[in-house]
Amino acid sequence: MNPLVRRLFGSSEIGLVLVIGLLTIVLVALAGSHVDRRTGEVVNNFWNSNTIVQTATDASFFAIMAIGATMVIISGGIDLSVGSIYALSGVSMALFYRAVGPLGTSATVLSGFLVCAGVGLLCGLLNGALVVGLRVHPFIITLGTMWALRGVAFVATKAESILVPTSLTSTIKASLGLSGGLNPVPMVAMIVLTILGTVYLTRTVMGRHIFAFGGNIEASRFAGLFLSRIQMGVFAMSGLTAGIAAFLGAGFYGSASSGDAQGYELYVIASAVVGGASLIGGKGSALGGMLGALLIVLIRQSIRTLHFDQNYEWIVVGCAIILAVVVDQWSGRATARRLKPVGEPPRSAA
C-alpha cells in the first residue's frame, strides 16, 4: 500500500470523515428535492450550495472555539467558560463601537477584531492564572468564571442587545465572489484556524509540550518543562479562539448580547470529544475538533431536514458524547494491550 494512503487511513480522524461522509449520503438520499425559484432546476433539499455553506457556517462558530478547547482537553483540563467568554467579547466590541462612534470600514473591522481577540485572550489568561495560582481543578475555576463573565456582560449591557456597525456585518457576510447569497467568510475562517491549530499542535515545541503535559505530568516535570506556562498557554488559546468566534458571530448576526452562546459549552466540549480528544489528556487534534463540530451540526441538520422532532436534538448530542467517550476508552485499552510485552506476568495485587 502507498505510504501516503497508509498514513491517511491510519490517522485518528479518518473514522470521523467516514461517518460524516456516510451521514451526508443518507441525508442526500432521504432529504427529497424541490424546484429552485431562481433557476427553475430541481435541487436536492440537502445537497445544494445554500444548505452546505449554511451548515458549515453554523458549525464554524463553535468549531473555532473547539480548536482552543481541544488544547485544554489535551492538557488534561476542561474549559466551561468559552460561551461566556464569547458573550463578553462580543458585547465588549459592541460597547466599544458605541463609545467611539463611526469609523471607516477597515478601522471598524481591525478594531473590532482586536477588541474581541484581546478580551478573549485576557479572559483565558485569567482562567489560567486562577488554575495555576489557586491550584484548583479547571472544572471548578471555569464553572465559576462561566457565571462571573456572563454576569459582567449582563451588567455592562443591562441585558440589551447592541447592534454592531453595518460595515462590519457587510465584511463578515461578504460573498467572496460566490453567487446566490452565500456567506462563506466564517467557513473560511474556520478552515484557516484549523490549519493554524494543527500546525501549532504538531509542528511547534509548545504544541508538543501540551501533549507531554497531558500524557504524563510527572514525566513532564522531571523533563524540566514549565508546567505553569503550558497550562496558562492552553487557557489563553481557548479564550483567544472564543474571542475570534465572537467577532465572527457578532459581525455575522449584526448584534451582540449577554445571552449569546448560551449552551455553547456543551457543543464545544462535545465537538472536541467526538473529534477524538481524550478527557484524561494527551490525545486530540484541531482537525478532530473541527470535524466533531461538523458532525454534530450534521446531526442537527438531519433532524431538521428529515422533519424529526427537534426536541430530540439534545438527546442525540448527549448520546454522541457518551458514545465517543466509550469508544475512546475501548481504543485506549486495545492500544495498551497491543503495547504490552508478550509473556509479561500479571501484576500481583498490592
Cell reading at 29: 438520499
pLDDT higher than 50, residue 350: no
Q: Which of 8, 153, 145 is nearest to 92 (CA)?
A: 153
Residues 119-171 have pLDDT tens digits of 999 999 999 999 999 999 999 999 999 999 999 999 999 989 999 999 999 99
Confidence of residue 43 (pLDDT cuts 50, 70, 90): confident
pLDDT higher than 80, residue 258: yes
Residues 187-201 have pLDDT tens digits of 999 999 999 999 999
> For position 300, what pLDDT does the model report?
84
Q: Which of 300, 291, 329 is nearest to 66 (CA)?
A: 291
Residues 64-98 have pLDDT tens digits of 999 999 999 999 999 999 999 999 999 999 999 99
Confidence of residue 334 (pLDDT cuts 50, 70, 90): low
Confidence of residue 19 (pLDDT cuts 50, 70, 90): confident
Please give the C-alpha separations between residue 283 and each of 39, 109, 161, 204, 235, in angstroms, as whole numbers: 47, 36, 39, 16, 17
pLDDT higher than 50, residue 2: yes
Q: Which of 292, 291, 286 is nearest to 274 (CA)?
A: 292
> Contact 149/258 with Cβ under 8 angstroms?
no
List, as one string, the DSSP characters of 57-80.
Answer: HHHHHHHHHHHHHHHHHHTT----
> For position 1, what pLDDT does the model report?
55
Level-2 CATH architecture, domain 56-326: Orthogonal Bundle (1.10)
Question: Hey, which of 38-47, 158-167, 178-187 has the most confident mean pLDDT?
Answer: 158-167
Tally Cβ neighbours within 10 Å of residue 113: 17
> For position 133, what pLDDT does the model report?
95
As a dihedral over the C-alpha atoms of residue 46, residue 47, residue 51, residue 53, rounded to 10 degrees, the angle is 150
Confidence of residue 5 (pLDDT cuts 50, 70, 90): low
Mean pLDDT of the chain: 88
Is residue 34 helix, strand or coil? strand
Cell reading at 164: 454592531
